[in-house]
Chain A
Amino acid sequence: MEVINLIIDNKPVVVKKGTTILEAAKGIGVHIPTLCHMKLDDLNIENKPGGCRICVVEVDGRRNLAPACCTDVFEGMNVSTHSIRAINARRTVMELILSDHPADCLICAKSGNCDLQNMAHNLGIRKIHYQGEQSHYREDTSPAIIREVDKCIMCRRCEMMCNEVQTVGVLSAINRGFNSVVAPAFEMNLDHSVCTYCGQCVAVCPTGALTEVDETGKVVRALSDSAKTVIVQTAPAVRAALGEEFGYEAGTLVTGKLVAALRRLGFDYVFDTDFAADLTIMEEGTEMLNRLGKHLAGDKDVKLPILTSCCPAWVKFFEHQFPEMKDIPSTARSPQQMFGSIAKTYFADKLGIKREDLVVVSIMPCVAKKYECGRDEFKTNNNPDVDFAITTRELAALIKISNINFNTLPNEEYDNPLGESTGAAVIFGTTGGVIEAAVRTAYELHTKKELPRLNFDELRGMEGIRKATIDFDGTPINIGIAHGLGNARKLLEEIQAGKSEFHAIEIMSCPGGCIGGGGQPYHHGNAEILKKRQRAIYQEDTKKSIRKSHENPYIIQLYKEFLGKPMSEKAHHLLHTAYFDRTE
């Protein structure tokens, strides 16, 4: 390994060749401020356009200042990160950025969570010496994401996410000079574009330029309506992240407090999407076994691999980008929608109320879920199965508005019958979890034998594409896992080319799976947070007394009382869906 000796702020440093000044400085505890730069370690995601120019440092012998994030170190380099020249330049650049940014911090959705606000504070900006015209653009509201691009600082993180990581290609820089901004082509609205609403742009936006559609108001209104029964479901990944909004260390499980908070907010029943995740496994697992059985019996027409279909952004992605493959994914609805469908039939019947008088709210780590619950196929008589989907962040805001001291809440249990779940359902929250849950059930249903082990380490991790072969008692089953739509695209292209050797593939749009969803507390570029949430999810799994979906007693009861068996006609009607070609 070739090493480089250099000096940063009078301290000698030895680093690997190819290290940037930024990384080298970090190694000795010098934190050069950055704005556009973002690196998610282990996920292979890095944004360093060198555009914001906040990280400029002085390098001896160099004519101009060097951007630390994208300047490699060299032998004998002498760097000063806080010379008066560097500090003045950095502060002036920050003043310039602020001079073209609305000063509405007090009422901005991002206030307190804004990288720009933080940076301005850290740089000690008290006055903007260069006031002038500000950029103005049309606000763009879609079913899930709001673009308020007056607040865009051209860091290009969203563009990198949309193009390089997700390969969706909706957001890119348009116009020139002072008028340049990140937008869909021809400044069209997001809802006219091929945007999947994955929300990764929102997850990385350092300012309030990209935020989710706020539906907390609608939830409060429903809760205050005495004529309505309001129930809530919580997605698996929420419990591993919500605590961060209340000062807990990332990866702290707050399941009990989450339930308690929801009860105090006034929900009549606090249920769990995990219940529906178990249901998903019953349906999807059965579908998988059906297809697999036919395939193994030599049926050439059967479509394999089967692809998971829990993720609404992924569904929209293939509807736009691979419509000719729309018969490959499982027809099983997502857990959110299965829950809504069961709640407004089975549960409403149990309560003896009309579906119109039952309001289903879901707490999701995701912004695409807002779009998903609005899809026409998930409505009966124009009444949606899920009325409102709010994000983890919105729930935190709701708790704060309602004067609930989250940190002192007791741990409480979910209500029944739709609150009981297994460990298999919890791991839906991370990449690899859905397929692991499916394997746990499919194995036992297929082999009629008990699984020798429950943890499938070969399916876990943060690698963008993972492959494993699971021995189904003599039948090798090839499993693929992709998270991030760019990785998904690679596997889809393999299928298209007839080169795919997989029997089943799990796909999640967001890097890390739902724990890294666009509706989660902001990770501010710290990939450690995602890993801690992932560990928490697996920890919750191990704590559960039942860890296989088909053993969930309430699921068994549901089939017995209501659905019959997996893939029955009723199940087909309530729990499965169809996909549409969106290229026109």
Chain B
Amino acid sequence: MADYRMHILICGGTGCKASESNGIKEKLNYFISEFDLEDEVQVVLTGCFGFCEKGPIVKVLPDNTFYTEVKPADAEDIVKEHIIKGRPLKRLLYKNPKNDYAVTSANNIDFYKKQIRIALRNCGFINPENIEEYIGRDGYQALGKCLTEFTPVETISEIKESGLRGRGGGGFPTGLKWEITRNVTADKKYVVCNADEGDPGAFMDRSILEGDPHSVIEAMAICGYCIGSDTGLVYIRAEYPLAIERLKIAINQAEEYGLLGDNILGTGFSFKIELRYGAGAFVCGEETALIHSMEGLRGEPTVKPPFPSVSGYMGKPTNVNNVETFANIPVILNKGAGWFNKIGTEKSKGTKVFALAGKINNVGLIEVPMGTTLREVIYDIGGGTKDGKEFKSVQTAGPSGGCLTKKFLDTPIDYENLVAAGSMMGSGGMIVMDEDDCMVSIAKFYLEFTLEESCGKCSPCRIGNKRLHEILDKITQGNGDLEDIERLKVLSNVIKDTSLCGLGQSSPNPVLSTIANFEDEYLAHVLEGKCPAGQCKSLVHYVINEELCNGCTLCFRNCPVGAITGERRVAHFIDQSLCIKCGVCFEKCKFNAIRVN
């Protein structure tokens, strides 16, 4: 990198690519060659920067200027003004929403201030398609060190000491898992990387694979060395084409460099990595289901024990770790367990990546030390709720997690605390809800997901979730009663208690946590026939306040079903029998004359 005077980094993650980041790169390169700057300035397509809300992101080094929402048409100005004249483009700079001041350096953006990026260390920094850039950032040093200086047992004890726990959701100590797999005697063992990221809204695994595939490859090879395996398999969903492409490029490059394949670095250790594609079933994130899917069988879980560490892929001992878990390994070994275990809380060490989504200003991917509070994540990093609406709840762990309220905002995030609060760490989905969200509908929404994604093998999950959904539907239709709430609780607990795998054991969490934290909303639905958030169509009526309506006819003209009648300058009227409750009139009215009852 040192050969160039300046670098322009462009986010090449799936999101920003969809917003034409390739076009930005082309244009930038065009103008750079136009001005004969090819020897001075290099344009690099990197992995995800995390600040997806403001994508596509373009960063200029060495001054660390952070441009947001860049379009290909901006390329000319970036080159002419910033690169040639040294004048950063104000209009593209990130503006602090608190004071509207433009922030010049990425270091000063609130979104990044509280983050510590370990798993995401290279995302948005290096060209993921160039192994040398990874090597330039200490890549493959850990593998080299392990193979030449450490025994597998020593390496495992380092991982154990670091306190790293599985980032896929379970939180099982990684070093211990490696040790168990190592201690099983077998003629063949496998290292499996679980890249079947299935939580709605979560995309940390995808971003790591897109932005820093070598970190995962290196870690898998280290794991192979530790447990005594020569074969790694990445189980990745086929709908991650970019991640697959970059993984393939990375594997090829690593092989070319002798960092994968036979006799790595001349040490006699051999390790190869193959890809296995999943069809995107959520349940295949469960390790036994994942293994069956890789074996060509129906993707459904089997009872544990036996754990994959003892009998996994093709009946052989198999160590399954999640992408993010693997991404932590090389850093831990480079910087030492002692460095890593100083970060985080007593039982949860290091950092965790979260995908911020929902009604939050800064939608994106963040990485924070364990122990950071939900408030810091949502307000300091996430920039608070959108449009000044009141925060209502945050859902962690996607469909398996619970909805936490304001009272949990100061809870330090770690595995134990989230479970104690009635949710889970999960793989790191974090969805923020505001006053407009109906919590009964939210629970129903998640049930709809698990219902579709259940494999159908065990009765409580197959039928129980269906019944939960039906009861929730009944409540949102305004037909529920108090007994329904009781039935939801009883059934939820039985499903949790009796289901075969993690999917069913956690699928009622959204129901139980919303009942526990928002019982008043449930009661409003069943006792008063009201949806306090105004989301349940069956319970909502749009009414025009005659005093505020000045007869502008905007609602009348926009109503798709002709349910609104009235003449110009005379208060309008909504015919409830025709109204389909689409809410267009409510959105269009400029005089707050339309009320939701």
Contacts and interface: CB of A to CB of B under 8 A. Distances in A.
B498 A154 contact: no
Interface stretch (A50-58, A213-221, A527-535): A50-58
Interface in B446-467: 451-460, 462-467
Interface in B259-304: 281, 298, 300, 302-303
A144 B430 CA distance: 54
Interface stretch (B73-81, B315-323, B401-409, B489-497): B489-497
A154 B457 contact: yes
A100 B467 CA distance: 10
Interface stretch (A129-137, A239-247, A537-545): A129-137
Interface in A88-123: 88-89, 92-93, 96-97, 99-100
**Per DSSP, are chain B's interface residues mostly helix, strand or loop, or mixed?**
helix
Contact of A96 (B300, B305, B457, B464): B464
B494 A180 contact: no
A176 B458 contact: no
Contact of B456 (A93, A172, A179): A179
A54 B460 CA distance: 10
A67 B303 CA distance: 9
B462 A177 contact: yes
A93 B458 CA distance: 10
Given A99-B463, A130-B491, A178-B451, A173 B497 contact: no
Interface residues of B, number: 33
B298 A172 contact: yes
A70 interface: yes
B487 interface: yes
Given A129-B487, A154-B456, A89 B497 contact: yes
A389 B498 CA distance: 44
5 contacts: A64-B497, A64-B505, A93-B460, A176-B456, A177-B451
Given A51-B457, A130-B464, 14 more contacts: A50-B303, A52-B458, A53-B499, A53-B500, A64-B496, A70-B303, A93-B460, A93-B494, A96-B464, A129-B487, A173-B457, A177-B452, A178-B463, A180-B455
B454 A178 contact: yes
Contacts of B303: 50, 67, 70-71
8 shortest interchain CB distances as A-B pairs:
A180-B456, A177-B454, A96-B463, A50-B303, A130-B467, A92-B494, A132-B470, A178-B466
A67 B499 CA distance: 9
Contacts of A178: 451, 454, 456, 462-463, 465-466
A49 B463 contact: no
A105 B58 CA distance: 68
Interface string B423-443: 000000000000000000000
Nearest to A100: B463
Contacts of B457: 49, 51, 154, 156, 173, 180
Interface in A174-193: 175-181
A154 B455 CA distance: 11
A375 B300 CA distance: 39
A156 B462 CA distance: 14
B224 to A, nearest CB: 30
A65 interface: yes
A570 interface: no
Contacts of B455: 176-177, 180
A434 B18 CA distance: 70
A149 to B, nearest CB: 13
Contacts of B497: 56, 64-65, 85, 89
Contacts of A153: 459
Interface string A71-98: 1100000000000010011001100110
A75 to B, nearest CB: 15
A180 B458 CA distance: 10
Q: Which of A70, A88, A92, A172 has the most CB of B within 10 A?
A: A92
Contacts of A97: 459, 463
A88 B470 CA distance: 21
Q: Which of B305, B459, B499, B500 has the most CB of A within 10 A?
A: B459
Contacts of B499: 53, 64
A53 B463 contact: no
Interface in A153-178: 153-154, 156, 172-173, 175-178
Nearest to A94: B459
Interface string B471-512: 000000000000000010011001011111000010000000
A96 B496 contact: no
Contact of A173 (B456, B470, B491, B500): B456
